[in-house]
């Protein structure tokens, strides 16, 4: 979130809630300051409480508090894994946990992928506090939350608007392939990507070959060039 609320105590979950129990929210974000800001914001809302937090996907999946959460706030960009993969893992292990994505990445690129992975909504970090809380309320009520712009875009495509039915080449990449493509665009080599994703070099090389095939690229030079252009062209919220 852009503004971090200071000097506000985080509400602790009370064992005796006269108006019903508080909703437990688990935060997964690799920036401690962001986690703290979210916790303070959630602490202002009487019926919500932070029940746990993690900075990496591995930490989150190893934390028993995630299992008992009602809702997990998940960032797309994590140091040890892709948030999309974490969403899939949470859905597989803890299907009752509702997932809401809160990310700096533009919704055009990741909102639909997040929904396909199992999330119930997507909020960009630069959106107002009111929208963030509204998103939490919406998904807790069993509905899907997207911005008006993104909802309109999906509806227009479903109803047959031609210019939205033509997919971008990157839309044909799997979530993991898209992640590798983005890392290539950031200048990471095959071995660095393998280490970051905890995958073998051979596996990453296979991803690279699949990306080249799907994007119609001749060689590694073209792959690097297109990956850099794609990374630089993506609008990212501050």
Domain count, the chain: 2
Residues 140 and 182 in one domain: no
Residues 86 and 151 in one domain: yes
Cβ atoms of residues 35 and 73 within 8 Å: no
- Of 155, 184, 210, the one marking the end of a domain is 155
Categorize the per-residue pLDDT at 18 as very low, low, confident or very high, splitting at 50, 70 and 90.
very low
Distances in whole angstroms, Cα of residue 68 to Cα of each of 16, 25, 35, 194: 17, 9, 19, 32
Q: Is the dihedral of CA 200, 231, 1, 83 positive or negative?
A: negative
Residues 150 and 199 in one domain: no
Dihedral through CA 173, CA 91, CA 154, CA 185, nearest 10?
-30
pLDDT of residue 234: 65
The 10s digit of each residue's pLDDT in 75-120 is: 998 887 789 999 999 999 999 999 999 988 878 888 999 999 999 9
Residues 109 and 145 in one domain: yes
Residue 53: give its domain's CATH number. Answer: 3.40.50.2300
pLDDT of residue 60: 96
- Of 107, 133, 155, the one marking the end of a domain is 155
The 10s digit of each residue's pLDDT in 167-202 is: 677 888 888 999 899 899 989 999 999 988 888 999
Structural domain span for residue 102: 23-155
The rounded distance, in Å, linking the Cα atoms of 145 and 134 is: 9
Residues 94 and 210 in one domain: no
Distances in whole angstroms, Cα of residue 95 to Cα of each of 29, 89, 119, 144: 20, 9, 11, 16
Residues 147 and 207 in one domain: no
DSSP state of 77: B
- What is the pLDDT of the chain when averaged over all its residues? 85
Categorize the per-residue pLDDT at 166 as very low, low, confident or very high, splitting at 50, 70 and 90.
low
Residues 98 and 30 in one domain: yes
Residues 60 and 35 in one domain: yes
Residues 175 and 116 in one domain: no
Residue 228: give its domain's CATH number. Answer: 1.10.10.10
């Amino acid at each position: 979130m852009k503004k971090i609320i200071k000097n506000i105590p985080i509400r602790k979950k009370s064992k005796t809630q006269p108006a019903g129990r508080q909703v437990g929210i688990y935060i997964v974000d690799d920036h401690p300051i962001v986690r703290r800001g979210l916790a303070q914001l959630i602490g202002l809302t009487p019926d919500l409480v932070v029940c746990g937090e993690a900075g990496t996907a591995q930490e989150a999946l190893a934390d028993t508090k995630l299992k008992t959460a009602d809702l997990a706030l998940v960032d797309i960009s994590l140091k040890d894994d892709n948030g999309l993969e974490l969403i899939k893992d949470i859905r597989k292990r803890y299907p009752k946990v509702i997932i809401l994505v809160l990310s700096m990445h533009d919704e055009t690129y990741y909102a639909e992928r997040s929904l396909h992975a199992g999330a119930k909504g997507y909020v960009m970090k630069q959106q107002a506090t009111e929208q963030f809380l509204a998103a939490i309320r919406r998904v807790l009520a069993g509905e899907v939350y997207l911005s008006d712009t993104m909802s309109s875009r999906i509806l227009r495509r479903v109803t047959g608007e031609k210019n939205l039915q033509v997919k971008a080449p990157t839309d044909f990449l799997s979530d993991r392939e898209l992640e590798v493509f983005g890392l290539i665009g950031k200048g990471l080599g095959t071995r660095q990507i393998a280490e970051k994703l905890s995958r073998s070099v051979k596996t990453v090389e296979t991803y690279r070959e699949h990306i080249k095939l799907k994007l119609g690229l001749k060689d590694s030079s073209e792959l690097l060039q297109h990956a850099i252009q794609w990374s630089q062209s993506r609008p990212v919220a501050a």
